[in-house]
Amino acid sequence: MSSNSHSAESSSHSDDVSLKEKLAYGMGALPHELAVTGVKYLGNPIFNIILHLSPVLVGNVFIIIRIWDAFTDPFLGNLSDNTRSKWGRRKPYILFGAIGSGIIFTLIWWVPKSIYGNAQLLFWYFLIFALIHYTFVTAFQVPYNALGYEMSSDYHGRTRVFAYRAFFAQIAKLILPWLFFLCQLEIFNSDAMVGVKWVAGTAGVIIILFILPTILKVKEGSAKKAEKQERVKLLNSIGLTLKNSPFRILVFLTFVTIFGSNFALALGYYVNIYYVFDGDTVQGAKLVGVGNTLGTIVAFASIPILTALSAKIGKIQTLGICIAMLAIGSILSWWLYTPENPYLQLYTYPFMVMGDMGFWLFITSMKADICDWDEWKTGLRREGMYGAASGWFQKMTQAITFGGASYLLVWIGFDAVLEGDQTESTLTWMRLIYAGLPAILAILGIIALKYYPMNDKKAAEIQTELKARRAESAPSTET
């Protein structure tokens, strides 16, 4: 580490975050992941596989709600940045959003039996409740991300904050792949539509209860810095955000990497159920759950390893290693997803899960650094807008991948009514897209990472200059 970087890091330890706050913020990742990702894990299995709604219509729901996010995310981010209240800029929205999303997440799956088999009514039911749910999710997610960005001003301390978040996010990821399997347990008479009501209801309670430590114990790091900051109009704030060159690179990096990962997530159930298990939905869902459980155990163990590696070789290099692991895991899936030995695929999960967990750990920490770059260039602390903008691009990527996966399923000839009798061509294309596309996109992400300018040394220089500016603008204590 350079002397400049070491100096900046040492001088910022007084701003570091207590263990209690790291734990409290990290716990918020559990309801955050359930609220954001739970619909994606259950949407296709419940509405397509069980209720036989066309995958195109299911995909259209995901596309529409992400278009809706194009309006709600920036609005909420700017609103949070401009809020001045005795409860802070972030916490009121986080609490309101978590309560709303917990309730609506439960209601999404209470599909009336009277509309079973009616594609139009099923589509509108799913769409309306998903739109309401993700509006609450935006109110929760955008300020929650911003709260994390502003908790620490230490370059590596930020990574430690998000390591705690990653730990609790992995607990959610341990649960999420099992949701569809749990819906089909014998205690629900193997009726997935009965099971999903209980499973989703439990998830809704968790979303509300587990956000409380974040609300009660975490301090807002930039609240005082922003007290006298002028309010920024929405369009001006969006323009300033898009002018941030490191942010644009991270957006591209996020797009190509998440595009590949979410295609794998969207198609994973189908490859297992219709290729590996010949249409057996229970066994397919079970193996997905077993694989993700194994991968999550590896992810828990890898969090301290990657955090320490980042402090030694830097965030950028460690992030590159994580993206490379995603590519390796995708390529291996072509040979290791096989009907002859279904559990052979478990060898891909350590690569995929460790790579995915590491990607989110470091990309989020780097977004906090970008907020310093923004203050360096504009004089403003706008973590809310960066939380909104990055969340919006991530959600649009997810919409494209999940919606695109649905269209691809139709294009390659997939038909849920055929169950295990899919054509050979359909299964081959399904496997090829699942294995090849994420690997190609991960390689593009590694190339983009080479152009990212915010390394350890530059971050230290910016921190030093920002502290000098704040000292100059602080009111004099002389009499």
What percentage of the chain carries pLDDT values higher than 70? 92
Q: Is residue 321 part of a domain?
A: yes
Residue 216: what pLDDT?
A: 92
Q: What phi and psi, each to the nearest 5 degrees, are found at residue 286? A: -65, -45
Average pLDDT of the chain, as a whole number: 85
Q: How far apart, in Å, are the Cα atoms of 31 and each of 17, 170, 440?
A: 22, 11, 32
- Give Cα 47 to chain centroid, integer Å: 22
Looking at the predicted structure, is the pLDDT value of residue 204 above 90? yes
Q: Is residue 396 part of a domain?
A: yes
Q: pTM of whole model > 0.85? A: no
- Token couple for 109: 């799956």
Q: Is residue 143 within 8 Å of 89, Cβ to Cβ?
A: yes
Residue 338: what pLDDT?
A: 92
End-to-end C-alpha distance for the chain, whole angstroms: 42
Q: Is residue 470 part of a domain?
A: no
pLDDT tens-digit series, residues 133-159: 999 999 998 899 889 988 888 888 889
pLDDT tens-digit series, residues 26-76: 999 999 999 988 998 898 889 988 898 988 898 889 888 878 887 888 888
Q: Is residue 361 part of a domain?
A: yes
Looking at the predicted structure, is the pLDDT value of residue 344 above 90? yes
Which range marks the domain in which residue 360 is found?
A: 23-222+233-462
Residue 286: what pLDDT?
A: 81
| Residue type present at position 212 | L
Distance CA 179, CA 272 (A): 16
Strands (E), 76-215: none
Please compute the mean of the pLDDT values over residues 297-311 and round it to a whole number: 90
What's the pLDDT band for 14 if we cut at 50, 70, 90?
very low
Q: Is residue 17 part of a domain?
A: no
CATH for 27: 1.20.1250.20
Q: Number of folded domains in the chain?
A: 1
What's the pLDDT band for 476 if we cut at 50, 70, 90?
low
Q: Give a three-class secondary structure readout of 244-303.
A: CHHHHHHHHHHHHHHHHHHHHHHHHHHHHHHHHCCCCHHHHHHHHHHHHHHHHHHHHHHH
Please compute the mean of the pLDDT values over residues 383-412 and round it to a whole number: 78
Q: Is residue 188 part of a domain?
A: yes
Q: Is residue 263 within 8 Å of 440, Cβ to Cβ?
A: no
Residue 11: what pLDDT?
A: 37
Question: Of 16 and 384, which is predicted with more confidence?
Answer: 384
Q: Is residue 3 part of a domain?
A: no
Q: Is residue 393 part of a domain?
A: yes
